Amino acid sequence: MSSITFMHTGDEHIDSDAHGTINPVTGRNTAWESNYRVLRFLAEEAVERRAGFFLSAGDNFKTGRPSQEALLMFVEALTPLADAKIPVILLDGNHHLTGVPADHRTVIHVVAEMLRAKGGTVVIASDPQLIRLDNGAQIAALPWLSKNRVLNELELTDLSAAEGDRAVAEYGIRKLEELAGQADPNAPLIMASHVTVDHLRIDAVTEGFRRGSEMDLAHLFSEPVLPIAELNKLPFQYGALGHIHTPQHFGDRYWYAGSPNRITFTDMPDEKAGNFVTLDGGALDVERIGTPARRMVSIDLEAEDWEQVLDTVAEKDLVQVKLVTGAPEVPREIRKAIAAAGATLADTKARPKPRAETKKVALPEKVDPMTALKKWAELNAPAGIAPETLVDAAEALAA
C-alpha cells in the first residue's frame, strides 16, 4: 500500500465578521483578513511539505450566498495549491446550503471553477461519492446530511423528529459502507464528512477543550448524529471530519481538525491548527500545524488575578471583560489600558445584581388602592422613610 500525505482543515468561515472592524488601510473587515491569513498559511504549509492533496471538510463561508469579495479572498488563499498542482478537495457543509434552493448548485462549484481557471485541480462533493486521485488516494466523501433532502429521497417525510434523525444517520452509515465497498483495498482510503458524531466533547475544560462555536446543546441533539461505534467498523485509515469547531479526535482514526481561526470567544482556549496527515502503509501520523489564529483574552474583574491578566494583553488581542456584579460598564481606566496595548475590547459580560426578594402578603380579592399601599409600605418602605410618609404623600397626590 502506497504512502500519502495531506492537509485536513475545514470550517474556515472566511467571511465571518465576528469581532471584526474595518481596516482603514485595506477597507476589508479585520476578521475576514484574519480568516484569510490562517487559510493561506495552511495552504502554504501544504505546498512546503509537498502534500498529496488539501482537504477542506466544509463550511468555507458563513452562508451559501457569499459576496464576490469573500469568494475572491477564499480562492486567493488557496492559490498556492493551484500553482503547485496540489489537488484540492472541497465538501459541502450546512452553511453552504443556507439560502440556496435544493435544485441550485452550491458555492463550492463556483470556487472550483475559479481555482481551475488558475490551473488548479479541484474535486468537489455535494453528494456522497468516492473520490479517486491520480496519486492513489481514495476519499469517501459524505457532505452535510440535509435532513429534509435525505428524507425526501427516502420518501420518509412522515417520520417524527427523532425517527427522522435515526433514518438520516442510518443513511449516512449505509452510504459510507457503499463507498468503502467500491474502494481498492490496496490503496489508501480516507473518509471525509461534514457531520456530527456522538461522544463529542462539549465542555471538557480539563482536557483543554471547550464547546465549539458551531455547537450548543440544542443544536447537538436536534440533528442526525453518526455513531462512532459504527464508523469504527469501517475500513477507513483516517476520518477527516468538519462541522465542529473544537479540535478533537476519537480513537486513533477520526478527527475534527477544528476551525483554523478563533471565530468567537467560545474558541478562546482552543489550539487552532490544521492536521497534516501521513498514511504510510498501515501507519497513521497526525501532526497539528498551529495557525496564526486571533488571540483572545478574557479578564474577569471579580477574579483575584485580573490585573495580571490585563498586563498580558498585547497588540491586536481581542479582549473580553466580565464585569463586577452590578457594574454597568467597563471602568474607564481598564478601557484605556486595553487601548494602550493596541488591543480591542470586543466583548463585555455583565453580571446583573440579583433581584431583591420582597415580602409577600395576602390581600382580599377586592381592595382599595390606599389600603394596598399601606400594607406594601409596612413591609417594603425604604430605610429611613416611615411608611406613613409614603401613604400621606400618596393621599396628597390623590387629592
Task: Give 31's contacts (C-beta < 8 A, 6+ positions apart).
Answer: 16, 17, 18, 19, 20, 263, 294
Whether 77 and 137 map to the same domain: the answer is yes
Structure confidence at residue 200 (pLDDT): 62
Does the residue 364 lie in any domain? no
Does the residue 312 lie in any domain? yes
Whether 317 and 216 map to the same domain: the answer is no
Whether 321 and 177 map to the same domain: the answer is no
Q: Is 327 exposed, middle or buried (0-12, 13-18, 19+ CB in 10 A)?
A: middle
Whether 281 and 376 map to the same domain: the answer is no
- Helical H runs in the chain? 30-48, 68-83, 107-117, 147-154, 161-182, 217-220, 228-231, 306-311, 332-340, 369-380, 387-398
Does the residue 211 lie in any domain? yes
- Tell me the average confidence (pLDDT) per consecutive run of 10 residues in the chain, 399 residues long: 89 95 92 98 98 96 94 97 98 90 90 97 96 96 91 87 89 96 94 88 44 44 82 95 93 92 94 96 93 97 95 96 94 96 95 73 70 78 78 78
Whether 258 and 320 map to the same domain: the answer is no
| Phi, psi dihedrals of residue 114, rounded to the nearest 5° | -70, -40
Whether 176 and 97 map to the same domain: the answer is yes
Whether 11 and 109 map to the same domain: the answer is yes
Whether 141 and 88 map to the same domain: the answer is yes
User: Rounded to whole angstroms, how far apart are CA atoms 347 and 296?
Assistant: 10
Whether 213 and 242 map to the same domain: the answer is yes
- pTM value? 0.83
Structure confidence at residue 374 (pLDDT): 80
Task: Give 315's contacts (C-beta < 8 A, 6+ positions apart).
Answer: 341, 342, 343
Does the residue 356 lie in any domain? no
Does the residue 173 lie in any domain? yes
Does the residue 362 lie in any domain? no
Does the residue 281 lie in any domain? yes
Cα first-last separation, the chain: 98
Residue 353's CB: how many other CB atoms inside 10 A? 8
Whether 243 and 144 map to the same domain: the answer is yes
- The bridge status of strand 283-290 relative to strand 273-280 is antiparallel
CATH of the domain at 273: 3.60.21.10
Total domains in the chain come to 3
Whether 215 and 300 map to the same domain: the answer is no
User: Rounded to whole angstroms, how far apart are CA atoms 96 and 65?
Assistant: 8
Instruction: Identify the domain containing residue 387 by its residue range.
Output: 369-398
Whether 317 and 337 map to the same domain: the answer is yes
Structure confidence at residue 359 (pLDDT): 62
Does the residue 269 lie in any domain? yes
